[in-house]
Amino acid sequence: MAVSAPFCHGVPPFTAAARGSSARSRGGRLGLVEGCCSGRIAAAATDAAPVTGAARVGRRCELFDLHRQIVPYVDSWGWQKSIVERRKALVGIDTDTDEDHSDTLIALQHPPVYTLGNGNDEKYLNFNIEDSPIEIHRIDRAGQVTYHGPGQLVLYPIINLRYQKKDLVWYQRSLEDVIIRALQSAFSIKASRIEGLTGVWVGEQKVAAIGIMCTRWIVYHGLALNVTTDLTPFQHIVPCGIKGRSVGSIKQILQMASNGRELNDAELMDTAYESLIKEFAEFFQLSLEPSPDLHL
């Protein structure tokens, strides 16, 4: 069984450049985030079966911190697919027979790229798909088109929901909760949901998109948070097929609230990352273990 749910978003190993520059986890608050598109929840299979808190506490989660790195989309897609295929072989019927004992979290940024879900309608592109202004990929998630680029923090959690709750709607709402908590904690930004839509909003501006794929209750893809993102490429699409709403970033929101005060992009990205992974680990009761490399 494979199920996808709205997310606006392949199997080569790390490139030499990415492997050599992999950032180490920083001190202080550990944090979270990834990227994609929203929209109404599609094919959301639910089978509520949370395990006990005792079983969840301290479950290991390998953390690959590339949040300062610009990683080609096809590389990250390949890493996810390779990890998922390896872990599918370990999944049992239930938690008693399941040998998949470790989750994964990858944090990174992408170069400019549009991604189209498997149900994409090209009417949401303000250009001819054969003449895209930037790289474009069709991928295996639900939802419409979205944009990823530098300054956008993308988190790819690869989680076995048998150790959480076998409910895709719950998982998406949980990722939203993590982002909302992180924005409040790190930046005193009050974010919220909009009923019927997936993602996180500040007023009428969408600042984070969420999209997932699920196979044998292992979920992947994830979320994307606009930290210092150049928002111009969003003007060439209807992000996630949602008309009449705008896209925003943390930097833009903070500057508007401070009459244009200068902000350090690297510091904003570090702060967002640390806050997000902290909230992520606490919410899902995971023990993050920084790893220097993806062993694919």
Instruction: Classify burial at 168, counting beta carbons within 10 Å of its beta carbon; exposed 0-12, middle 13-18, buried 19 or more.
Output: buried
Mean pLDDT of the chain: 79
Quick check: 102 pLDDT over 50?
Answer: yes
Quick check: 161 pLDDT over 70?
Answer: yes
- Is residue 9 assigned to a domain? no
Q: How many structural domains comprise the chain?
A: 1
Average pLDDT over residues 232-240: 76
- Is residue 87 assigned to a domain? yes
- Is residue 48 assigned to a domain? no
What are the backbone dihedrals phi and psi of residue 170, each rounded to the nearest 5 degrees, phi first? -60, -40
Q: Is 179 helix (H, G, I), strand (E, B) or coil?
A: helix
**pLDDT-wise least confident of 107-116, 130-139, 236-245:** 236-245
Q: Can you give the three-state secondary structure of 117-172, one letter per residue?
A: CCCCCHHHECCCHHHCCCEEEECCCECCEEEECCCEEEEEEEEEHHHCCCEHHHHH
Q: What is this structure's pTM?
A: 0.80
- 36 catalytic? Reply is no
Average pLDDT over residues 130-155: 85
The pLDDT value given to residue 160: 95
Could you tell me the pLDDT band of residue 154, with boundaries at 50, 70 and 90?
very high
Q: What is the CATH number of the domain that holds 247?
A: 3.30.930.10
Quick check: 255 pLDDT over 70?
Answer: yes
- Is residue 32 assigned to a domain? no
Could you tell me the pLDDT band of residue 238, with boundaries at 50, 70 and 90?
low
Identify the active-site residue in 8, 36, 214, 240. Answer: 240
**pLDDT-wise least confident of 18-27, 159-168, 226-235:** 18-27
**pLDDT-wise least confident of 157-171, 184-198, 237-251:** 237-251
Q: To 5 degrees, how large is the angle CA 211–CA 212–CA 214?
A: 165
Average pLDDT over residues 210-237: 92
Quick check: 293 pLDDT over 80?
Answer: no
- Is residue 202 assigned to a domain? yes
Quick check: 288 pLDDT over 50?
Answer: yes
- Is residue 86 assigned to a domain? yes
Q: Which of 136, 168, 106, 166 lies closest to 236, judged by CA?
A: 136
Could you tell me the pLDDT band of residue 51, with boundaries at 50, 70 and 90?
very low
Could you tell me the pLDDT band of residue 142, with boundaries at 50, 70 and 90?
low
Quick check: 218 pLDDT over 60?
Answer: yes
Is the model more confident about 1 or about 147? 147
- Is residue 8 assigned to a domain? no
151 in Cβ contact with 269 (< 8 Å): yes
Cα(239)–Cα(243) distance, integer angstroms: 8
- Is residue 145 assigned to a domain? yes
The pLDDT value given to residue 112: 96
255 in Cβ contact with 265 (< 8 Å): no
DSSP, res 228: S
**Domain containing 163: what range?**
59-290
172 in Cβ contact with 210 (< 8 Å): yes
Could you tell me the pLDDT band of residue 93, with boundaries at 50, 70 and 90?
confident
Residues above pLDDT 90, as percent of the chain: 54
Q: Which of 234, 220, 75, 91 lies closest to 149, judged by CA?
A: 234
Could you tell me the pLDDT band of residue 251, with boundaries at 50, 70 and 90?
very high
Cα(172)–Cα(41) distance, integer angstroms: 9
Q: Which of 270, 291, 208, 293 lies closest to 30, judged by CA?
A: 270
